[in-house]
Amino acid sequence: MVADAPEGIRADLARWTLGPAALARARSGRARVSRVASDGPRHLLFHLQRRGRLVMRHEHEAISVGMGDIVIADDNRPYCIDISEGNDCPILQLPIEAFGAAGTQDWHGRMFRAADPNVAFLGHMLQGLWAQREMFDGLDDGAGHLLAEAARIVVRCGAVSEEFGNDASPVDYALAHLHDPDLGTARICEATGLSSRAVQKAFLRHTTRTPTAFIAERRLDRAAELLSARPDSSITDIAFDIGFNDAAFFSRCFRRHFGVTPREWRALRGSPAQHN
């Protein structure tokens, strides 16, 4: 693996082996990670996007992965990943033999959306294990086989996501990618194939807002929901999860929109105060 990152980037990568499964968690700022094809034992890597956004590129394809989505990489094939600021990505690595006959299929670059319950189940297992890894340090290796079974269910039963095509609604694309810190008119144009003028007109027609104003309002509305629904999450975590990469700027925008700070909003709704 080769990382192309700006000087002074903050990043960490931790790894944990559990039976046939290897778990890792990568957290970093904006970077590009490239991986050459391996000629060793073949594995499938399930990248779960917990925070931020990543774009996996291989051959002539680019797959944009949002919060809660899973994208699979085959470590016997080359690919690169563009990572957004504030990236947090748990990774599950399994030998191809764990997938039986399904392992003969091409899973490289396949993405599964967070809305799929099979994907959500695997995601909760990965995040729960990682969050309590010190408690589970002595866990029997058989638990790794449970992870492998959850991964097999995803590839067997999960609905493979189709990326938005050129006929996608600009508003629908924006709503599905609010977590993307780079979301804006240029990104929507690139994804939908429409001109900047066409995107602007579509938003004015369907929302009476410019793309910038609509995205900002929807992010803040979502933040208000999360502040109440996730009392254990810090305000900074929520800011990153909804597409902001600056917690102080998020707090200023929130106050302008709602008249109170995020901390005051949470306190008014009976949730315990959180540290940034």
The contacts of residue 197 (CB under 8 Å, 6+ apart) are: none
Beta-carbon count within 10 A of 146 CB: 14
pLDDT band at residue 272 under the 50/70/90 scheme: very low
- At 211, which amino acid appears? P
Q: pLDDT tens for residues 186-227?
A: 888 877 767 888 899 989 988 888 999 999 999 999 899 889
Structural domains of the chain in order of their starting residue, each with its CATH number: 2-157 (2.60.120.10), 170-268 (1.10.10.60)
33 near 78, Cβ under 8 Å?
no
- Give residue 275's pLDDT: 44
Nearest to 213 by CA among 200, 225, 195: 200
Task: List the structure tokens of 17.
Answer: 């082996």
**pLDDT of residue 276 exceeding 70:** no
Distance separating alpha carbons of residues 111 and 159, to the nearest angstrom? 9
The mean per-residue pLDDT over the stretch 135-146 comes to 83
DSSP state of 160: B
SS3 state at 238: helix
